[in-house]
Structure 1
């Protein structure tokens, strides 16, 4: 592999509808696109920490531990060292403490070395349903009626509005589509007593799991013991970089790890966590950190290779007002008009 140059650019893409990040909402997504020239070809990866400001100007809490500016500064130092020959992509990915940078550099290495599947069998979509406070039932029924008949599971955000409305939404989905399985996502939005009351009212046979039900993730086991509703972990993985599932995880109610690669780190670290989980009978669902079309395409490729039996959670790209990658014959091209250059380094 002969690396000739790197270029880093920044994107800002407005969303045509607000997307939930926990209980917060964002209407703008920003990130970095890293371009590498190697073997006389161009390769691209997205590096986009899930941090910054929400639509109200408050800091996004509970997801990436690094900012976009920190990622750009780290990349400038590491890429200069790679061009000078004192580091390679894989060692730089293991050296950095920033998860988004580790993910991007290791992914770039995998692309350059042809270690990813080029094509994959399409996954069955898992539509994301977000409750709308005060939505009339007639409008809710109309919205739910648009779920395609070939869909076998949906994901519903909860702990967003009020418990009664969210339970009504869940039971209405069951009434209209009794064959559909439900994945619920609370984003650590419930106190234990609230989670216990909420889970007691759920149609348990329809629930695959509820993601991060309790504000304190250590209480999820007690919730399962009390209600029998299994849970999944998501934010916990990003906040605890060295997380490993316990040997008794399955018996204690854990059913799945919802893994955001942008928050996890390098590909080898991702592979290790998936292997540990699978050995304990846990499912692994790769999930978007609200990346652009470029990042989503890469999550789909990684999921095809590492978690082919579990549909990744990538139903967050629809509100993007612009695609960063667009079809071009048998290839894809980058929408350069959406990018602002940050820096370049070359031999």
Structure 2
């Protein structure tokens, strides 16, 4: 039996994303219960405001209209064919990712394997996550850095883009205090092309791992210009908002790295193929969540373990941004994610706070 549940979870504090301020996360949890085996499989459909082109209401309508047909397809083993059809008709990446997560979770559980092992027999048994460091005054930023490093984070992502002189001072102090940690910065589209080149040249000596999205997401030519001129590696984040644009970024080599948000990309196969394209152009990928619940994050962690670069921290430890979650597994929110030997996604769903459609 297939059931649909909506969630509405506040953030601990308002979250700035792609020029928008969002105060909560909402989405739809798919639950399929196999009456013969007792297996319960999960998926999550959660368009991200400011990134996804489809809306929560649009994916909800499609799921309600197709729920019976999808359930029948899962029962008779034609779930992937139905997914391909829905993907071709609607082209809603979050919908495709959520349904595919459900299908793969079910297949892994029927095989009695963790999802990561089912997908990638040679997966990394552990993967690093970065800690996120809001940049304010020097003492506050260093205090937060103390907390994150004491928890075990060895890569910190620092938000910049508001006051470069202050940011330069804080970053310098951060690097002086922590000479061995990796520091990556996220400019959130704040700079012009000239500003980006100037600012990045100024901080070259601070050994910055890379800078995310220095210019506006639509300015692909400008992003390429910064990439070619910057002494620091450039990562496309907001620009890399779907597989079509990612293909353009890859083929024009507009960035050194691509931030992959699987919820924006569609089916697992879409993710695999797009990753292969980036590899052929020698462009590295870093996987990150779209601030989903534990269901989406567990799927992304599994994909990261199979496709991500082991030496590079991935953007996975975002569960703490939510006031509460739909599962309580702590392994998902640690600085180093070590996969438990639990079949499928490796989580147990809590139904408190969920509303059945």
The answer as to 2:62 corresponding to 1:74 is: yes
Residue in structure 2 matched with residue 8 of structure 1 by the alignment: 4
Residue in structure 2 matched with residue 107 of structure 1 by the alignment: 101
Residue in structure 2 matched with residue 22 of structure 1 by the alignment: 18
Query: Counting helix residues as a fraction of each chain, which structure ranks higher?
Result: 2
Decide whether the 8 Å contact of 1:6 with 1:34 is kept in 2: yes
Residue 261 of structure 1 and its aligned partner are, at CA, apart by 0.4
Residue in structure 2 matched with residue 233 of structure 1 by the alignment: 236
1:40 pairs with one of 28, 34, 38: 38
TM norm structure 2: 0.81
Q: Within 1, Cα distance between the matches of 2:291 and 2:77?
A: 30
RMSD over equivalenced CA pairs, Å:
2.6
Matched residue SS, 2:319: coil
The answer as to 2:116 corresponding to 1:117 is: yes
Residue 238 of structure 1 and its aligned partner are, at CA, apart by 1.4
1:127 pairs with one of 127, 131, 154: 131
Residue 76 of structure 1 and its aligned partner are, at CA, apart by 2.1
Pair 67,6 (structure 1): closer, same or farther in 2 beyond 3 Å: same
Gaps of 5+ in 1: 52-60, 343-347
Q: Within 2, Cα distance between the matches of 1:234 and 1:89?
A: 31
Residue in structure 2 matched with residue 190 of structure 1 by the alignment: 191
Residue in structure 2 matched with residue 58 of structure 1 by the alignment: none
Q: Deviations over 1:192-233 (max 9, x none)?
A: 122122212113561222112111132122113333332111
The answer as to 2:156 corresponding to 1:157 is: no
Pair 110,332 (structure 1): closer, same or farther in 2 beyond 3 Å: closer
Residue 247 of structure 1 and its aligned partner are, at CA, apart by 5.0
Pair 172,205 (structure 1): closer, same or farther in 2 beyond 3 Å: closer
Q: Within 2, Cα distance between the matches of 1:214 and 1:237?
A: 13
Q: Within 2, Cα distance between the matches of 1:167 and 1:49?
A: 34
Equivalences for residues 290-329 of structure 1 within 5 A: 290-307=291-308, 309=310, 310-327=312-329
Matched residue SS, 1:183: strand
Residue in structure 2 matched with residue 335 of structure 1 by the alignment: 350
Residue 103 of structure 1 and its aligned partner are, at CA, apart by 0.5
Q: Within 1, Cα distance between the matches of 2:271 and 2:198?
A: 35
Q: Within 2, Cα distance between the matches of 1:189 and 1:88?
A: 46
Pair 327,287 (structure 1): closer, same or farther in 2 beyond 3 Å: closer
Query: Counting strand residues as a fraction of each chain, which structure ranks higher?
Result: 1
Decide whether the 8 Å contact of 1:14 with 1:29 is kept in 2: yes
Q: Within 1, Cα distance between the matches of 2:354 and 2:62?
A: 19
Residue 237 of structure 1 and its aligned partner are, at CA, apart by 2.2
Q: Within 2, Cα distance between the matches of 1:138 and 1:246?
A: 39
The answer as to 2:69 corresponding to 1:89 is: no
Q: Within 1, Cα distance between the matches of 2:25 and 2:207?
A: 33
Decide whether the 8 Å contact of 1:213 with 1:220 is kept in 2: yes
Pair 87,151 (structure 1): closer, same or farther in 2 beyond 3 Å: closer
Pair 83,29 (structure 1): closer, same or farther in 2 beyond 3 Å: closer
Decide whether the 8 Å contact of 1:78 with 1:92 is kept in 2: no
Matched residue SS, 2:128: coil
Q: Within 1, Cα distance between the matches of 2:282 and 2:65?
A: 40
Q: Within 2, Cα distance between the matches of 1:174 and 1:289?
A: 28
Farther-moved stretch of structure 1 (16-25 vs 97-106): 16-25
Decide whether the 8 Å contact of 1:92 with 1:105 is kept in 2: no
Q: Within 1, Cα distance between the matches of 2:38 and 2:205?
A: 55
Q: Within 1, Cα distance between the matches of 2:257 and 2:163?
A: 26
Equivalences for residues 210-289 of structure 1 within 5 A: 210-215=211-216, 216-239=219-242, 241=244, 243-244=246-247, 245-246=249-250, 249=253, 254-289=255-290
Equivalences for residues 136-151 of structure 1 within 5 A: 137-148=138-149, 150-151=152-153
Alignment coverage as a number of residue pairs: 321
